[in-house]
Structure 1
Amino acid sequence: MTNNFVFNDSLPVAPLKIAALESCKELAGMVNDHIVRFRRNDMEELMRRKEDLHYRGYDVDSYLLNCRCPRFGTGEAKAVINESVRGTDIYVMVDVMNYSIPYTVSGYTNHMSPDDHFQDLKRIVGACVSTAHRVNVVMPFLYESRQHKRSKRESLDCAMALEELANMGVDNIITFDAHDPRVQNAIPLIGFDNFMPTYQFVKSLFAHDPHIEIDQEHLMIISPDEGAMNRAVYLANNLGVDMGMFYKRRDYSQVIGGRNPIVAHEFLGSSVEGKTVLIIDDMISSGESMLDTAKELK
């Protein structure tokens, strides 16, 4: 399959560069390999366009930017970019949930938290935004997306983080299955793409267990709380099966571990007897809700 539609209908914004932070190097390598193969798919058309300045740097061996974020002995860090980014279209890739990266502070070993990853992201943006043509951020898990609304006197961290990136000069933010995509209202004048992986999820699920029977007698979609209801409704509608949901009854008279404890999970929906049930949620933190939901269903 040729890439003629790429050449005939659109032009590259600028030469592409992928700035992969340490937390996202493996994914960035896969993206880079895919783009290299894709852009070399139609060599005849590409050779004909070689002299076009719009295609400067279109066909290269690697689009990965030579950059890093070294740390001082105090734990402080800086971003270092070892090649020119003038006039390029930069995609900075970061995984703020990668807890596996250690660093040393005054002889003690720490593991990078989401805050550390976000600071490194800002360092890379700050190092290249002044000369790059455009800076885009690819963040598979949206930083602070759990703190997306204010219900009392508390910080609104996700909105503040997005505004900070917008003020630094970031043009686009790309994420997947944000906890609440309405948080993009904090940055209405820059691009915000929230891709839902529903198809990939269903494809992997049925490939893993091909014996699942998709009909109302054998399958049911369950939402473990109100927050996941939209996802469950969408999936149930597309598969043509019934849906049920739980809602959490909390004790608002006390706070334990920074939140109101859950007293019980109440179920709304038809009988699940003899059915395969699919529990759909957007994320698992402690796993408590998922375990409680599974116990109630059993």
Structure 2
Amino acid sequence: MVMESKTLFSAENRVAPLGIISLAGAQELSKKVEAHLVRWAKLAGLDYDTFLIESSCPRFSSGDGKGMINSTVRGYDLFFIVDVGNYSLTYNYFGQENRMSPDDHYQDLKRLIQAASGKAHRMNVVMPLLYGGRQHRRSYRESLDCAYMLQELQHMGVSNLLTFDAHDPRVQNAVPVMGFDNLMPEYQVLKKLFKDFPDLSTDKNDFMIVSPDEGALNRNMHYASVLGVELGMFYKRRDYSRIVDGRNPIVAHEYLGASVEGKDVFVADDIISSGESVLDIAENVKDRRANRFFAYATYAIFTNGLEKFDKAYEQGLIDGIFGSNLTYLKPELRNRPWFHEVDVSKYIAYFISALNHDVSISSLLDPHSKIEALLKKRALERAKYADEQLSL
């Protein structure tokens, strides 16, 4: 780790002095990221206490806003960290409390980029939850929010954008000459899964991966490949004659694949929105006599509340729901016995440091070797756990 830190923090090969600008709503994640960067810098013999640059986006009573950076950024390699999904923030608008939407967060990002334009050496954006990511393609007379957002940031001078588990990463075709990195935190998810469920066996006779739909097939295929287990898939049969809440409602989930009987099932997706799909799949696999049901979503937002998941947990339909800290998690969610938070801050810190020092990011994009090492360590821990259980 010390050698790794020296490589990433040697003063000779950095692009420019590192600066992190955390937007409102992303401070918790930004502080965790910065803590790793400061610790690694000190291990490399460099005296840094902080990389955060103070900023704000105050508003007038009419609702107009402005971006302010409170110290110099001239010559800096800036990383803006923004959580467009943080709905917990409010502002006053004509004497009324108005809740911040993804549009408000994105507008504040543009304001701060404007405040830094022409001064910074380079500007990068860390936007884990991609703004407009669910409106990435056009069927008829529809907007292309995500594609236009990327083009807008590029025109404003942003050089790189870092996101996680984009709903459809092909949207990067809108900005073919801008850096666009779509990271998948599989290693962090498996590490948390193994830690919180030490009795979990990933033998192909005891465990399998199931994709919730055809769109999530690639991410689940990767889990199945690195773990060496079977892969099943659900097909979402939709009613295309109706639109409910902006989408065609799901009529049924049809299962394709090997038997799940007696096996622990793990499902990975990019987002849990209402959560209806996850609960339908949990009920389906339990009806097929699956053992335990685990699900992971990079963005666990639960737009329709948590009560249905509480009931499903009490009924034994779900055994664990995993979600990352890449977007806002309500306090009551963090306290639920069925929810397990995956910390991805260290992964972001590695990526920021690698970009800032112009070193290869290939190992960060494909953590296959780290997962293999984790599985070997896991095998030893399981053997030790089995011995302890026998001794009891």
Cα 1:86–1:258, aligned 2, differ >3 Å: closer, same or farther? same
Query: Which residue pairs with 2:13 in the alignment?
Result: 11
The one of 165, 169, 186 equivalent to 1:198 is 186
Distance (Å, rounded) in 2 between the aligned partners of 1:222 and 1:257 = 26
Query: Which residue pairs with 2:263 in the alignment?
Result: 275
Q: Where in structure 2 are the equivalents of 1:51-200 lying within 5 Å?
A: 59-200=47-188
Secondary structure of the residue that 1:236 maps to in structure 2? helix
What is the Cα deviation at residue 109 of structure 1?
0.8
Distance (Å, rounded) in 2 between the aligned partners of 1:293 and 1:173 = 33
What is the Cα deviation at residue 15 of structure 1?
1.4
Cα 1:60–1:214, aligned 2, differ >3 Å: closer, same or farther? closer
Distance (Å, rounded) in 1 between the aligned partners of 2:119 and 2:54 = 16
Q: Where in structure 2 are the equivalents of 1:21-32 lying within 5 Å?
A: 21-32=23-34
2:274 corresponds to 1:286:
yes
Distance (Å, rounded) in 1 between the aligned partners of 2:160 and 2:73 = 17
Structure with higher RCO (Cα < 8 A, 6+ apart): 2
What is the Cα deviation at residue 9 of structure 1?
9.6
Query: Which residue pairs with 1:34 in the alignment?
Result: 36
1:159 maps to a residue whose letter is A
Cα 1:158–1:7, aligned 2, differ >3 Å: closer, same or farther? closer
Distance (Å, rounded) in 2 between the aligned partners of 1:128 and 1:9 = 23
Secondary structure of the residue that 1:36 maps to in structure 2? helix
Which deviations, in whole Å up to 9, do the C-alpha atoms of 1:212-270 show, x marking residues without a partner?
A: 11122211111111111111111111111111111111111222222212111111012
Secondary structure of the residue that 2:97 maps to in structure 1? strand
Q: Under a length normalisation based on structure 1, what TM-score does the superposition of the two structures give? A: 0.91
Provide the identity percentage.
Answer: 56
Q: What root-mean-square deviation, in Å, do the aligned CA atoms of Structure 1 and Structure 2 show?
A: 1.6
Distance (Å, rounded) in 2 between the aligned partners of 1:265 and 1:284 = 16
Distance (Å, rounded) in 1 between the aligned partners of 2:88 and 2:97 = 12
Cα 1:264–1:170, aligned 2, differ >3 Å: closer, same or farther? same
Distance (Å, rounded) in 1 between the aligned partners of 2:241 and 2:285 = 28
Query: Which residue pairs with 2:300 in the alignment?
Result: none
Q: How many residues align?
A: 284
Secondary structure of the residue that 1:188 maps to in structure 2? coil
What is the Cα deviation at residue 172 of structure 1?
0.8
What is the Cα deviation at residue 83 of structure 1?
1.2
1:197 maps to a residue whose letter is P
Secondary structure of the residue that 1:136 maps to in structure 2? strand
Q: Under a length normalisation based on structure 2, what TM-score does the superposition of the two structures give? A: 0.70
Which deviations, in whole Å up to 9, do the C-alpha atoms of 1:11-70 show, x marking residues without a partner?
A: 111111111111111111122222222112233xx5xxxxxxxxxxxx432211121000
Distance (Å, rounded) in 1 between the aligned partners of 2:116 and 2:24 = 17
Gaps of 5+ in 1: 47-58
What is the Cα deviation at residue 186 of structure 1?
0.7
Check conservation: 2:42, 2:48, Cα contact below 8 A: no
What is the Cα deviation at residue 100 of structure 1?
0.8
Distance (Å, rounded) in 2 between the aligned partners of 1:210 and 1:151 = 46
What is the Cα deviation at residue 151 of structure 1?
2.4
2:180 maps to a residue whose letter is F
What is the Cα deviation at residue 6 of structure 1?
4.3
2:205 maps to a residue whose letter is E
Cα 1:278–1:284, aligned 2, differ >3 Å: closer, same or farther? same
Distance (Å, rounded) in 2 between the aligned partners of 1:100 and 1:8 = 39
1:36 maps to a residue whose letter is V
Bigger radius of gyration among the two: 1
Cα 1:240–1:283, aligned 2, differ >3 Å: closer, same or farther? same
What is the Cα deviation at residue 4 of structure 1?
4.1
What is the Cα deviation at residue 291 of structure 1?
0.9
1:157 maps to a residue whose letter is D
